[in-house]
Structure 1
Amino acid sequence: MLLLLQILIIGVGATLMMDLWAGLRLRLFGVPSLNYAMVGRWLLWIPKGRFIHRPIASSESQQGEVLVGWLAHYAIGITFAGLLLPFAGAEWFTEPSAGPAVALGLVTVAAPFFLLQPVLGMGMAASRAPNPWGTRAHSLITHAVFGLGLYLSALVSKGMGLV
């Protein structure tokens, strides 16, 4: 039970750090983040039989898409934190280190590259984005920040005496 609480704290913390980075990136560089309402829109269209959108912004909006998108964003972050267990082992939760966390963060970039970007109409690894290499670079950096967030959130969890 304690391990599940750690995974929850680590996943929420890492996702929050990713969101803080997205806000900073917007302020400093003018680069917007993914609009999570579009994720919600995509998820809400799935039960209606529509999986791929070209692009998602041209698909009809769905009631509750903002809430669904943000809840999915944090649920995915928690799920990715749970991947630390098979990726780094249970001992990582008692003695967290940055290497496995950042490595896992970088591995998670496969989700937007090969699932989310294609179904939202951006193509594989943002190949249809206006600036594919820029989009890819921002995704990689954002997921590295998520990995760093996994590590820092694990330190917070440890500091709370959850190990």
Structure 2
Amino acid sequence: MIETILRAIVIGIGATALLDLWALLLNRTLGQPMANWAVIGRWFAYLPRGRFMHDTIAQTPPVANELAIGWTMHYLVGILFAASLLAIWGPGWALAPTLLPALIVGVVTVGCGWFILQPGMGFGIAASRRPNPGQIRLMGLINHVVFGLGLYLTALLIR
């Protein structure tokens, strides 16, 4: 049990770090904006206060340490997704990883952004209230495929 938890932590961190490197590459080569982890931290910080939905997160008053909260939650969610992979496919997957389960988890988890985070931050379901929802959806899907690839590659590295 402890070994599975440790593997989930390492795999989740590795996959999330690969996602962050991917975002940095897109930023440096294509000018793609980086995620604003401060406003994501703000959204998470308001959850224990009973506030799940915001008209727009930018209009919600900032909270102390929201950037640190955002980064921390980014990695904790990555660990949770890795733990979900191991819970569904079993701890043995980490010892003999295959690509398809990791990609399935990557693609399915884009739904958390589309149906929980984006509406909660006031952007609508799947960014429907943003000026460029199609682009945001496509980038979210690509990013989550990269995350899934990161789950697989990290598991390969530590098996």
Question: TM (normalized to structure 2)?
Answer: 0.95
The aligned residue for residue 66 of structure 1 is 67
Give me the whole-angstrom Cα distance separating, in 2, the residues matched to 1:134 and 1:140: 10
Quick check: 1:84–1:101 contact (8 Å CA) kept in 2?
A: yes
Residue correspondence of structure 1 range 1-163 to structure 2 within 5 A? 1-158=2-159
| Structure 1: runs of 5 or more not aligned | 159-163
Deviation at 1:78? 0.2
Give me the whole-angstrom Cα distance separating, in 2, the residues matched to 1:147 and 1:74: 14
Question: Which amino acid counterpart does residue 60 of structure 2 have in structure 1?
Answer: S
- Aligned residue pairs: how many? 158
Partner secondary structure for residue 60 of structure 1 = coil
Give me the whole-angstrom Cα distance separating, in 2, the residues matched to 1:85 and 1:25: 29
Give me the whole-angstrom Cα distance separating, in 1, the residues matched to 2:50 and 2:101: 38
| Structure 2: runs of 5 or more not aligned | none
Question: Which amino acid counterpart does residue 62 of structure 2 have in structure 1?
Answer: S
- Identity within the alignment, %: 46
Displacement over 4 Å in runs of 4+: none
Give me the whole-angstrom Cα distance separating, in 1, the residues matched to 2:86 and 2:60: 38
Question: TM (normalized to structure 1)?
Answer: 0.92
